[in-house]
Chain A
Amino acid sequence: MDFLILNEGFPLLSVLIFLPLAGALVALLLNNDDASRLWALFVTTVNALISIPLFSSFNLDTAKYQFAEHYEWIPSFDIYYTIGVDGISLLLVLLTTLIMPLCVLGSWNYIKTRVKPFMICLMIMETSMLGVFCALDFALFYILWEAMLIPMYLLIGIWGGPRKVYASIKFFLYTLAGSVMLLVAIIALYLHTGSFSIPNMMGQAYSSTFQIWVFLAFFLAFAIKVPMFPFHTWLPAAHVEAPTAGSVILASVLLKMGTYGFLRFCLPITPEATITMMPYVLWLSIAGILYGGFTALAQKDMKKLIAYSSVGHMGFVTLGIFVLNTNGVEGAIIQMINHGVTTGALFLCVGMIYERTHSRELADAAGIGKHMPIFVTFLAFFSLSSLAFPATNSFVGEFLILAGAFTHNKIIAAFAIPGAVLAAAYMLRMLQKVIWGGTNNPTHTLSDLGMREIVVLAPLLAFVFWIGLAPQPFMDVMHTSVAHLLNQVGVDQGPSALAQMIGK
C-alpha cells in the first residue's frame, strides 16, 4: 500500500462521501417541501465546506493518493474499501461538492411536485459521484459507477420534460450496455493481479492482446459516458428532458466520469494499447469537435444547443488526453473543470428562462435583454467562457490542449481549430437572439433575477474569472500527478520535462 498516504484522524473523504447519503436517509423522515429543500441545501453546503481542506492541505509534491483510507470489505474476493485523491481527481471532487448546493438552489422553485424524493435523489447522486472519483478499488468504483444510474434515471424519468420516458430509458440502457464489458475487463484484471486495487493494476506486464481487449472494454464504457462521437446520441435527449438540476449534474459531473476513466484507467493500466489506439481516438475526438459544433449551430432549442456544444467541448478534452503530453493532459483536466463550471452555469441560465417563459425555444426567448439586464450579463459572460474567450477559464484549457495537440501532430491540431471558431459562431448566435432578438420579438413581461438566482450564478462566474486570470493554483495541484501518469504511459518527453532537462 505504498501508493497511499493514509489519513490519520478525521476520515475526511469518507465523511464527504457518506454525509449526503446520511442526509438522504434523514430526509426520509421529513414531510414538508420547504423543510426538504432547506435540509438538502444544508447538507450539500456543509459537504462543500468540508471539502475545502482537501484543497488547502493537499500535498503538491507527491503523486501518491492522499487523504487515503483503506479497510477490509469482502475479504474472500480481495475487495477493499480503498479511497484517496490525487492531482487528477482532486479538482473533480471539489467541482462536485461546489455544484451540488447550486443544483439544490437552482431547483428551488423549478421542482414543485414531490420535492422530498427529488432532494433525496440529488443527495444519493452526490454520494455516488464523489465515491466514483475517490474510489481506488475497482469493485467499489464499479458499484458506485452503476449505482448512480438509478437516481439519475429517476431524476430524468420522474421530473423530466414531455419525452422523459424515452430519454431516461435511452440514457439507462446506453450507459449500462456500455459498462457490462467493463465488468468483464475488471474481473479479468483481477485474475491477473490478484486484487481489485486500481493502483496495483497499473504498471503490470500484460500481453499486448490482453491490453487491447481491456482497453476496448474500458473505451466503450467511458466513451459512452463522455460521450464521444458516435456514442453521443443519448446525451441531447437526456439533457433536453432532464430537469435543470439533472442537466447540470449530467453536464458538470457525469460527463467528466468518462474522461476521468480514460485518465485513471486506460492510460496507466493499458499504456501499450493506449499508444496503439491513440490515432483512432484522436480522430474520433476531432469528429466530435466538428460534429458537435456544426450541430449546435443548427439548434433552435437552447438546451439542445448547449448539449451539442458539450459534445464538441468534450471532444477537446479527449483530444487533450490522447495527445499524451503534459500540456495536453493538464489542459484536458482543467478543461474538464471549466466545462463543468461553464456548461453547468449555462444550463442553470436556460432553466431560469424556462421558469419564466416555460419554453426552451430560442425564438420564445428572443429579446429578453431589455427586460432582464442582470440575467443577460451573466449569460453573456458564461457564453464567452464557453467559446473560450481570453481571460475566461475555457481559454486556458483550450489553449493548453491546442498547444499539446500542435506538439503532437500539426494536422490533427489544425482540424481542431474550426471547432473553436464554430463555438464562437453558435454561442454568439444564441447571445444575439436572446439579448436583442429581431424585429418581431415576442412580448415579454419578465422579472429579472432574484437574489437566490444571483447567488446560484455568482460563484460560478467567480470561478470563470479566477481560472481564467489566475489558473496557477489549479494547475499546481495536477503537475506531479500528470508527470507521474505520463511516466506510467512511458511518454514523459513533454515540453516541461524538456524544460527541466535544459534547466539542469
Chain B
Amino acid sequence: MKLMLFAPELFMLLGSLLIFFFSLANDDGKKSRSVAIATSIGAIILCFICLNKSGLLFFKAYQIDLFSQLFKLTIAIGTAAVILFSRDLKGIQEKIRPEYYLFLILSSLGLMMLVSSVELISLFIALELSSFCLYLLVPMRDDQQGLRTQMESAIKYIFYGVIATGIMLFGMSYLFGLTGTTYLNELIPKLHTLGSEPAAIAGIAMVLCGFFFKLAVFPFHFWVPDVYQGASNETTAFIASVPKLGAVAMLIRITTLAAPQSEALVTMFVVLAVCSMFYGNLSALVQKDIKRMLGFSGIAHAGFILLGLLTMKDTGYATSIYYIFGYLVMNLACFLVICSVSSKGENVTINDLSGLHKRAPLLALTMAIGMFALAGIPPFVGFMGKFMLLTGALQDGQLTLVILAALNTAIAIYYYLSVVKVTYCNSPDGHEDITVPLMTKTVSIGLILAIILMGVMPSKILAIATTAVQGIL
C-alpha cells in the first residue's frame, strides 16, 4: 500500500492542519499543545511501524528506505521530547502559541521530507520548508527585557541561512550542469566517473555547505551563539538538536555522490573538523550563558561528526549516525534542565544552576549525566560515539587528526565539568526550589536511560545504522 509509505508525514501534515485551525480560533495554546503532543507521538508510532518499508514516491523523487525511516523516527522522537518537556512555553506569548506549535510541527515535517528526498529540487524544497519555520520560531520569543534581541537573532539566522542556501543552489547548478540530471541515483555513477574533476568537487562541496550551516560546522557557525541566546529556551532546544539529524543525513547522502577517496574532499573535512573542534571548545570555555556554551559545544561536536564522514566508508557513516543520535539525547537532556530551571522563560546562566542538586535532584542528575556524556566520559553514549569515530579515523590513517581530537576532549572536559561543579558543589545561594512536573520527570528519566543504554549496548543501533547506510551506497 503506497499510502503507508507516506503515513508519518501525512499524519504530521494533518496534525499541523488541525493546529492551524486552532490558531484561527482564540486558543491559548492548551488545545494546540495536546494536538502537537498527539501528532508527534502518533508520528513516532507510525515511523516505528513503517521502519522497514521501502519504495519510491512522487516520480521517484522521494525514497523510502531504512536510512530515511530511521532518521524520521529519531526526528519524531526529538520533536516529541521537546514538546513534552517545554510544558508551558514560558518564553512565548499566549496568543501566538498555536502558531508556535504549528511551525514546530511543520519544521519537523520538513526535516522528515528532507531525509527522504533523493532529487535535488525536492531536497531543496523540503529543506526550505524546515528552515523557514525555524526562522519564524526565533522571533516569536516574548520580549521581556525590551531589548528585542530575538529580532537580532532572527535576522542573523535568516541572513546566514539564505546565504548558505544560495551557495548550495549554486553548487546544485554545477552538478546539474555536469550531469544533466537532478536525481541522486543518476548523479552518483556520473559523478564517480568524473572522479576528481574540480568542477564536480566544487559542486559537491558547495551543496555540502548548505548542510554545514545546519550542523553548525566552522565556518558556517556564526549564527549559532546569537541564535541560541536570542531564541527562547524551547526553540533553542529544538534548533540545537533535531535539524542536526537532517543535516547529518543529507551530508551522508551528498558525500556519497563524490568519488570514493576523493582527496580534496577528505582534506576539506579534516580542516573543517579541526577548526570546528578547536573553535567550539576554546570559545565554550569562557561562556557564562549556558545556551551559548552549548552552542559552542555543538560546533565542536559537529567537528567530531565530520570524523565519520571523512572516512567515506559505510562504517564511518554508521558511526556518524550513531553519534548524532547520541548527541540528540545528550543535548535534549541538557536543554530539558535549562527549560525547567528557567522560571519565566529567561536565559539561564551557569550560576543559576547553583545547588541544583538540592533544589531538584533529578534535574541535577540529568544535567550531570548530560554533561559527562557530552564530554565523552564512559559509560555514556558520548564516549562510545567518540571512541568509534576515533577508531574509524585512525583506521583511515588520520593520526594527527585523531590526536588533535583527543586533545580536544581534554580541553572540553573543563567547561562541562564546571557546570557539574555548580550543580553539585555549590550551595543554592537563595535560588528557589524547583518543582518538576511528572511529564518532565518521565522524559528526563527516559533520556538518562537512553544515554546509558545507548552507551553500554551500542551494537544494535550500530548494526541498524550500518544496514541503513549500505542501503543508500
Contact = CB atoms under 8 A, between A and B. Distances in A.
A75 to B, nearest CB: 6
A183 B377 contact: no
Contact of A173 (B315, B377, B387, B417): B417
Contact of A157 (B409, B410, B424, B466): B424
Interface in B392-412: 394-395, 399, 402-403, 406-407, 409-410
A142 B378 contact: yes
A173 B375 CA distance: 12
B394 A191 contact: yes
Interface in A171-192: 172-173, 176-177, 180-181, 183-184, 187-188, 190-191
B335 interface: no
Interface in B377-394: 377-379, 383, 387-388, 390-391, 394
A75 B274 CA distance: 30
B421 interface: yes
A147 interface: yes
A411 interface: no
Interface string A156-182: 011000001100110011001100110
A187 B394 contact: yes
Nearest to A72: B459
Given A142-B378, A180-B409, A165 B414 contact: no
A169 B418 CA distance: 8
The winner among B378, B406, B417, B424 for most chain A CB atoms within 10 A is B378
Contacts of A297: none
A77 interface: yes
A187 B397 CA distance: 12
Q: What interface size band does chain A fall in?
A: 20 to 34
Nearest to A196: B391
Contact of A76 (B377, B379, B413, B459): B459
A176 B406 CA distance: 11
Given A172-B413, A187-B390, 19 more contacts: A76-B466, A142-B378, A142-B387, A143-B378, A143-B379, A143-B383, A147-B378, A147-B379, A150-B377, A154-B424, A158-B357, A176-B409, A177-B410, A180-B406, A183-B390, A187-B387, A187-B394, A187-B402, A188-B394
A435 to B, nearest CB: 37
B425 interface: yes
Contact of A165 (B315, B406, B409, B421): B421
A146 interface: yes
Nearest to B455: A143
A360 to B, nearest CB: 20
Interface string A137-161: 0010011101101100110011000
Contact of A146 (B315, B383, B395): B383
| 9 interchain residue pairs of minimum CB distance | A143-B378, A180-B406, A177-B410, A157-B425, A74-B459, A147-B378, A180-B410, A146-B378, A165-B425
B452 to A, nearest CB: 11
A436 interface: no
Contacts, number: 83
B383 A158 contact: no
Interface of A: 73-77, 139, 142-144, 146-147, 149-150, 153-154, 157-158, 164-165, 168-169, 172-173, 176-177, 180-181, 183-184, 187-188, 190-191
Contacts of B388: 77
15 contacts: A73-B459, A75-B459, A143-B379, A147-B378, A153-B420, A158-B357, A173-B414, A176-B409, A177-B410, A180-B409, A183-B390, A184-B390, A187-B391, A187-B394, A191-B395
Interface residues of B, number: 34
Contact of A184 (B357, B403, B420): B403
A187 B413 CA distance: 21
Contact of B417 (A73, A74, A172): A172
Contact of B387 (A75, A139, A157): A139
Nearest to B462: A76
Contacts of A191: 391, 394-395
Interface in B419-466: 420-421, 424-426, 458-459, 462-463, 466
Contacts of B406: 180-181, 183-184
A112 B377 CA distance: 29
B323 interface: no
B372 interface: yes
Interface string B300-317: 000000000000000100
A149 B425 contact: no
A180 B407 contact: yes
A184 B395 CA distance: 11
Contacts of A188: 394, 399
A190 B458 CA distance: 19
Contacts of A187: 387, 390-391, 394, 402
Contacts of B462: 74, 76
A150 B459 CA distance: 24
A146 B421 contact: no
Given A73-B459, A75-B459, A77-B391, A157 B421 contact: yes
Contacts of A168: 421, 425
A147 B391 contact: no
A183 B462 CA distance: 21
Contacts of B458: 74
B322 to A, nearest CB: 10
Contacts of A158: 357, 424-425
Nearest to B372: A150
Contacts of A180: 406-407, 409-410
Nearest to B318: A76
Nearest to B390: A187
A144 B456 CA distance: 11
